[in-house]
Amino acid sequence: MSNDQIARWKRLQVKVDQLVLEGKRDIGVVLDFYQKVLETRESIQNPYLRLISGGQTIVVGSTDGRETIENSIEAFNGGSCGGFRADNGGQPTTQTTASVYEMAQSGTYVEILTGFGVDFDRLSWQESQVVYFCWAHRHWLSDDRNYETFFLFKEKEGFAIASVSVQHHHVHAYRRPVSDDNTWHSSGPCRFVIPQLMKTDG
């Protein structure tokens, strides 16, 4: 922060205070603005990924946790394979928001996901949430049939990747292990969908 910015900030503070005290500005509006500033936090960066959904709110609604990719014909009308389990339902989930990223640097699943610097629990979905996203926000899936959209999801034994592709208006899901050592290249529009991450205030 430069000295000029600090001086400008002090001048604006004095002016805003004066307008509020003179009744020329609604104090409720000013208080609401300051509250929003306090609540705004910077999103966590990842050198492997580029955020493409910035400024947009992508809501993943609450679920009962029971729906799985294997038994969701409506969301995955192209079918699923690779070892999804119909009994991999989880606990009910509350409404949350998602962020969508495209590749910016080549890497494996582990390299890309650890680039956030947080535990996998914060990066993962339950299968019911993946189903919800692919049904409600299909337009955020990569529409190039040669590239995929990835979701880290929880299994009873750990984590796996749901690799979702769209081909001829059909949405298909393939299960891949997180340990897959295939390198995904940044030259193509592969995407990752992650629960929205924010830095905590210090």
Question: What is the average pLDDT value for the chain, to the nearest integer?
Answer: 88
Q: What H or E segment, with its residue span, contains residue 36?
A: helix 27-39
Q: Is residue 125 part of a domain?
A: yes
What lies within 8 Å, CB to CB, of 92 at 6+ separation is 62, 63, 64, 65
Q: Tell me: do 57 and 117 sit in the same domain.
A: yes
Q: Tell me: do 30 and 91 sit in the same domain.
A: no
Mean pLDDT of 62-73: 93
Q: Tell me: do 68 and 157 sit in the same domain.
A: yes
Residue 4 CA to residue 73 CA, distance in Å, equals 59
Q: What angle do CA 65, 131, 42 make, to 5 degrees?
A: 90
Query: How is residue 1 annotated by DSSP?
Result: -
Q: Tell me: do 33 and 62 sit in the same domain.
A: no
Could you tell me how far CA 179 lies from the centroid of its own chain?
21
- What pLDDT does 27 receive? 87
Mean pLDDT of 181-201: 84
Residue 200 CA to residue 20 CA, distance in Å, equals 31
Residue 19 CA to residue 44 CA, distance in Å, equals 37
Q: Inform me whether the pLDDT recorded for 200 exceeds 80.
A: no
Pairing of strands 96-103, 191-195: antiparallel
DSSP 150-187: EEEEEETTEEEEEEEEEETTEEEEEEEETT--PPBPTT
Q: Is residue 175 part of a domain?
A: yes
Could you tell me the residue range of the domain that residue 32 belongs to? 3-39
pLDDT digits (tens, 9 = 90+) for 114-143: 999 999 999 999 999 999 999 999 999 987
Q: Inform me whether the pLDDT recorded for 202 exceeds 80.
A: no
Q: Is residue 44 part of a domain?
A: no
pTM: 0.77
Q: Inform me whether the pLDDT recorded for 98 exceeds 70.
A: yes
Q: Inform me whether the pLDDT recorded for 35 exceeds 80.
A: no
Mean pLDDT of 33-43: 58
Residue 172 CA to residue 122 CA, distance in Å, equals 25
Q: Where are the beta strands (DSSP E) in the chain?
A: 49-51, 58-60, 80-81, 96-103, 149-155, 158-167, 170-177, 191-195
Q: What angle do CA 32, 34, 40 make, to 5 degrees?
A: 100
Number of structural domains (the chain) is 2
Q: Tell me: do 65 and 32 sit in the same domain.
A: no
- What pLDDT does 39 receive? 47
Angle at which helices 3-21 and 27-39 cross, to 10°: 150
